[in-house]
Amino acid sequence: MKQQINVIKVGGAVVEDAASLNNLLSQFAALPGAKVLVHGGGRSATRIAASLGIESHMVGGRRITDAQMLQVVTMVYAGLVNKNIVAGLQARGVNALGLTGADMDVVRSHKRPLKKMMMDDGTEQMVDFGFVGDVDKANGEMLCKLIAEGVVPVMTPLTHDGAGNLLNTNADTIASKVACALAPFFDVTLTFCFEKKGVLRDADDDESVIPVITEQDIADYKTSGVISGGMIPKLENAFDAIHLGVQKVVITRSDNISGEGGTIIKQF
């Protein structure tokens, strides 16, 4: 029987607020057994970029990462946000190690090619996202070596292409790929945390959590507008993980990572 492991992904809205971050770190530290934390930090990057006179550009909720913005996200994600989390976990007795995808070659990506996107005015345009990476592979064996030594990886949303270039990469995707890479070695539960209790049937009703979502449900929820925006790629990452051996995927609030509830993703 495989050892259990929790891969927890938490967004920038949580890690950038002191009270919610402290609560998350305490809950994460209390999780028994092996674990990995993957975090975002986009709001901090936007704020610090603005203070430096660097404008942020978003298309379809995704950040355009030019050379200047790459410098900012590297400083913010791998520096400020990641090391605050690592220090907080160390204070709670967790032997955490902050990692980008370049460290120990744990996540390798390629630069996203030009992509056709729907613009706000309803037209479609080819978009160059700049130094944004789409994940090719995560190194489960290398992560296992760290975990076997009692190390808890804390992964920031930066990867590399193997040719010396860092790439800004979606944290949900990193969490999904890492969970899949660990699946041959562990019984993996992947939890996506955000500010709601789960996927909501009614965006204005925080209690309208959908307890289970299967692939058969997705088309209907998209058509009806129940699922839209950033929730669509989150669910796509969830189902990718289920298909590739992850035992359980949960979408829930960050203060519920050790409890019941949330939305459970099932293949059928």
Assign residue 181 the CATH number of its domain.
3.40.1160.10
Q: Six-digit token pair at 254?
A: 């960050």
- Model pLDDT, residue 267: 73
Average pLDDT of span 209-236: 85
Place of tokens 């190690």: 97
> Hey, how many other C-beta atoms are within 10 angstroms of the C-beta on 25?
22
Q: How far apart are CA 146 and CA 88, in angstroms?
A: 19
- Model pLDDT, residue 260: 77
- For residues 126, 67, 161, 194, the Cα torsion angle rounded to the nearest 10 degrees is -80
CA dist 43 to 13, 40, 46, 143, Å?
A: 7, 9, 5, 28
Q: What is the pLDDT of residues 1-11, one digit of tens each?
A: 789 999 999 98
Greater model confidence, 229 or 212 = 212
Residue 130 has pLDDT above 80, yes or no: yes
Residue 101 has pLDDT above 80, yes or no: yes
Average pLDDT of span 29-34: 96
Alpha helices in the chain (DSSP H): 12-15, 18-30, 42-51, 67-73, 82-91, 140-148, 171-182, 215-224, 231-243
Q: How far apart are CA 242 and CA 262, in angstroms?
A: 17
- Model pLDDT, residue 16: 85
Q: How far apart are CA 257 and CA 178, in angstroms?
A: 18
How many domains are contained in the chain?
1
Residue 32 has pLDDT above 90, yes or no: yes
- Model pLDDT, residue 235: 87
H/E run at residue 35:
strand 34-39
Of 14, 8, 2, nearest in space to 195 by CA = 14
User: What band does 124 get if pLDDT is binned at 50, 70 and 90?
Assistant: confident
- Model pLDDT, residue 128: 92
Q: How many residues does the chain have?
A: 268
User: Are the CB atoms for 37 and 193 separated by under 8 Å?
Assistant: no
Boundaries of domain holding 131: 3-266
- Model pLDDT, residue 13: 83
Q: What percent of the chain has pLDDT over 70?
A: 99
Q: What is the pLDDT of residues 157-206, one digit of tens each?
A: 999 999 999 999 999 999 999 999 999 999 999 999 988 889 999 888 88
Average confidence score pLDDT of the chain: 92
User: What band does 52 get if pLDDT is binned at 50, 70 and 90?
Assistant: very high
